[in-house]
Amino acid sequence: MSEDKLKGKIPENVCISLLEKYKTEHDSLSERVQVLRVELEQQSQDESDIDEFIRRIKKFVDIEELDRAMALELIDHIEVGAKDVEEREIRIYYKLLGDCA
């Protein structure tokens, strides 16, 4: 394209306009690549966390009751809703998985 401009085949303003358009498109695509990389890393981490949670839970397949050791290994924390309502909301946050109310 710059060779054609030098030879007079493409007017300078058209050449500049095309270069600006290509630069804008390149910048936009570069930003999109970064966003997709971050999303891919997060997805990979999520998959790894799920695999680790499954590995941990398999140890307790035949257990009939939740005991302290299981709770410590699997549960991050538990939130219990307000006492003044008839039915309390209980949210269990599992390690590696987050909120699974």
Domains identified in the chain, total number: 2
| Per-residue pLDDT at 7 exceeds 70 | no
Which has the higher per-residue pLDDT, 99 or 31? 31
7 and 36 co-located in one domain:
yes
Q: Rounded mean pLDDT of 10-29?
A: 88
Q: Identify the pLDDT of residue 95.
A: 82
Residues spanned by the domain of 69: 63-101
| Same-domain pairing of 39 and 81 | no
Give mean pLDDT, residues 17-46.
93
User: Is the pTM of the predicted complex or chain greater than 0.85?
Assistant: no
Q: Is the pLDDT of residue 34 over 90?
A: yes
Distance CA 8, CA 79 (A): 73
Instruction: For residues 48 and 69, state if they share a domain.
Output: no
Question: Is 50 found in the same domain as 22?
Answer: yes
